[in-house]
Amino acid sequence: MTIYPAIDLKDGKAVRLTKGIMESAKVYSDEPYHLARAFEEMGSDWVHIVDLNGAFAGNPMNLGAIQKIREATTLKLQLGGGIRDEETIKKYIDLGIERVILGTIATQNPEFVKTVAAKYNVVVGIDAHDGYVAVDGWAKTSSLKATELARMFADSGVKAVITTDISRDGTLGGVNIGFTEDVAKAGGIETIASGGVKDIDDIKAVKNSPFIGGVIVGKAYYEGKLDLREALSLQ
């Protein structure tokens, strides 16, 4: 199990949303790279970054903050939000991003994702409302089931799938283990749980699942509900 501490970027600042609603943004740092440094000092190998503005706009919107994080740490960076073409992927890989997350484009153009997955370290982000895939910064819900989308990328070269239960994201309501396991079984790809982590018990539940390879930690840490050092020690 790998733990991915999260930094969500909005207007250059680190924020957390509740259920993906931009207006719910709560600012936790004006200098997100300070958070990344703290994660590294606590023993993390990764940081999970989402360009929230980019997710809505469809192109990179927080490049300056991302560059600062890259320059300030030796962490491996996993980045998503507004990555819809190969040019953007190349830009981020050249910047030193370890893995790029493709979300909306994975639903709209699965063949494109398979093509770039053969060249780059690609992760597919599957965000769902009641089991159905949401796109465009979660502003729209499609008619495609999350499990069906995961199945499309079986044996495609995609490095991992990140599943987010939007109804739990930022709520501290607990990880949806069942949903994450269903997606993992459908795709047969390493699957990372996201959304709803409330405390150390969720970390233990993920670790105890034979199907889930990792978990993204956000609000639980920022709100003091989770000791990140303790969580990282369970990896």
Summarised one tens digit per residue, pLDDT across range 198-228 is: 999 999 999 999 999 999 999 999 999 999 9
Q: Which listed residue (8, 165, 169, 182) is catalytic? A: 8
**Residue 13 pLDDT level (bands cut at 50, 70, 90):** very high
Q: What is the mean pLDDT of residues 19-32?
A: 94
What integer best gives the mean pLDDT of the chain?
96
pLDDT of residue 24 exceeding 80, the answer is: yes
Instruction: Using a cut of 0.85, tell me whether the model's pTM lies above it.
Output: yes
Residue 51 phi, psi dihedral angles, 5° rounding = -85, 95
- What token pair was written down for 147? 């499990």
Rounded Cα distance between 21 and 11, Å, is 15
pLDDT of residue 191 exceeding 90, the answer is: yes
Residue 232 phi, psi dihedral angles, 5° rounding = -65, -30
pLDDT of residue 92 exceeding 80, the answer is: yes
Q: CA separation (Å) from 57 to 51, 117, 130?
A: 10, 23, 24
pLDDT of residue 178 exceeding 90, the answer is: yes
pLDDT in the model for residue 135: 85
pLDDT in the model for residue 140: 84
Domain hosting 144: range is 2-233
pLDDT above 70 as % of the chain: 100
User: In terms of pLDDT, which residue wins out, 179 or 135?
Assistant: 179
Helix 63-72 to helix 86-95 angle (10° resolution) is: 30
Rounded Cα distance between 63 and 77, Å, is 13
pLDDT in the model for residue 164: 94
**pLDDT of 136-173, one tens digit each?**
767 789 899 999 999 999 999 999 999 999 999 889 99
pLDDT in the model for residue 16: 94
Q: Which listed residue (51, 127, 169, 202) is catalytic? A: 127
Question: 30 catalytic, yes or no?
Answer: no
Coil, strand or helix at 89: helix
Long-range contacts of 181-187 (CB under 8 A, 24+ apart): 181/209, 181/211, 181/212, 182/146, 182/147, 183/126, 183/146, 183/147, 183/150, 184/150, 184/211, 184/212, 184/213, 185/211, 186/147, 186/148, 186/150, 186/151, 186/154, 187/150, 187/151, 187/153, 187/154, 187/161
What's the N-to-C CA distance of the chain in angstroms? 5
User: Is 76 in contact with 101 (CB distance < 8 Å)?
Assistant: no
**Residue 19 pLDDT level (bands cut at 50, 70, 90):** confident
pLDDT in the model for residue 42: 98
Question: How deeply is 210 buried, as exposed, middle or buried, from its count of CB atoms within 10 A (0-12, 13-18, 19+)?
Answer: exposed
Rounded Cα distance between 197 and 195, Å, is 6
Question: 51 catalytic, yes or no?
Answer: no
**pLDDT of 95-141, one tens digit each?**
999 999 999 999 999 999 999 999 999 999 999 999 999 987 677 89
Could you give the number of structural domains in the chain?
1
Q: CA separation (Å) from 193 to 47, 184, 201?
A: 14, 10, 14
Helix 63-72 to helix 32-41 angle (10° resolution) is: 30
We report the CATH number of the domain holding residue 157 as: 3.20.20.70
Q: How far is CA 32 from the centre of its chain?
A: 16
